[in-house]
Amino acid sequence: MTGAPEATPAGSPKVFPGRFEGKIAVVTGAAQGIGLAVARRISAEGAAVVLVDRAELVHEVAAELRATGAKASSVTADLEQFDGAESAVAEAVAAFGRIDVLINNVGGTIWAKPYEHYAAEEIQKEIQRSLFPTLWTCRAALPQLIEQGAGVIVNVSSVATRGVNRAPYAAAKGGVNALTQSLALEAAQHGVRVVATAPGGTEAPARKVKRGPEPEQEQEKIWYQQIVDQTVDSSLLKRYGTLDEQAAAIVFLASDEASYITGTILPVAGGDLG
């Protein structure tokens, strides 16, 4: 992320071979960023994975995992539309017969500016990008999980529900939090857990597929830097996290080790609680 401080290296990620042996995991937004880190880790821990993204890059990720001997398939779908989510879930079930873990990772700030500067269509696009993919994919997968009588959904939210210069994104992620808690209440009787992580600032390679335009005007750069500064100031550890640190929390919540955790939103933000 441009203008962000470097993350402190956390060392090689600790992998627990066999933790997901026999499990089927669907990971959305798997072509890059946190989704890619999660896909690699949960695959290394034994899960057969279905990787979903709107970018064709997701097929390269699946091929990379298969080259290691893992079971991996990939689906391109627009999860901002319900039919995209339905088709992705249907393909996962067709490929492996069930879904044990659904990790919803699609979303991200498109613009960075004070709310009064957002155009109406930009507000709609932010909500469409960071709330609807999770809404739709949960809705598409729940009947399958309920029929099985087991499963876990891990939604990826954000501590930016309290943050500057991205109010529409904050509103979208607040919706993800509410969805997580409401679904946990409904799904528990069916043996389905619903949890979320709330990542803070995370250092990652430059995106191969951009969410939106880079800041160009001097004022835009100032607004963006305010986000970076506030993110670091709000963190007790005064740094950005790593992709491995985010993936570790997500994969833990997806595992049977977290079997008594549901309805929880876990901040992974160096002490920033959002």
**Three-state SS at 119:** coil
pLDDT: is 199 or 213 the higher one? 199
Residue range 1-12: mean pLDDT, rounded: 54
**Three-state SS at 139:** helix
Does position 1 have pLDDT exceeding 50, yes or no?
no
Does position 3 have pLDDT exceeding 60, yes or no?
no
169 catalytically annotated: yes
Domains of the chain by range and CATH?
24-268 (3.40.50.720)
Q: How far is CA 171 from CA 57, 80, 116, 160, in A?
A: 29, 16, 15, 9
pTM of the model: 0.94
pLDDT at position 215: 76
Which band of pLDDT confidence, cut at 50, 70 and 90, is reported for residue 8?
low
Q: How far is CA 202 from CA 41, 51, 85, 192, 243, in A?
A: 17, 21, 26, 29, 7
- Which residue in the list 115, 118, 169, 224 is annotated as catalytic? 169
Six-digit token pair at 215? 């800041």
CA dihedral 46, 50, 169, 13 (to 10 degrees): 20
Q: How far is CA 125 from CA 108, 109, 164, in A?
A: 11, 10, 18
pLDDT at position 216: 76
Tens-digit pLDDT profile for residues 69-127: 999 999 999 999 999 999 999 999 999 999 999 999 999 999 999 999 999 999 999 99
Does position 12 have pLDDT exceeding 70, yes or no?
no
- How far is residue 87's CA from residue 267's CA, in Å, rounded to a whole number? 31
Tens-digit pLDDT profile for residues 27-47: 999 999 999 999 999 999 999
pLDDT at position 2: 43
Backbone angles phi, psi at 117, to 5 degrees: -95, -5
What's CA 200's distance to the chain center, in Å? Answer: 12
Six-digit token pair at 81? 């539309």
Beta strands in 68-191 (DSSP E): 72-76, 101-104, 151-156
Does position 219 have pLDDT exceeding 90, yes or no?
yes
pLDDT at position 11: 61
DSSP label at residue 81: S
Tens-digit pLDDT profile for residues 187-204: 999 999 999 999 999 999
What average pLDDT does the structure give for the chain? 94
- How far is residue 97's CA from residue 76's CA, in Å, rounded to a whole number? 19
DSSP label at residue 10: -
- How far is residue 80's CA from residue 83's CA, in Å, rounded to a whole number? 9
Residue range 45-65: mean pLDDT, rounded: 98
pLDDT at position 240: 96
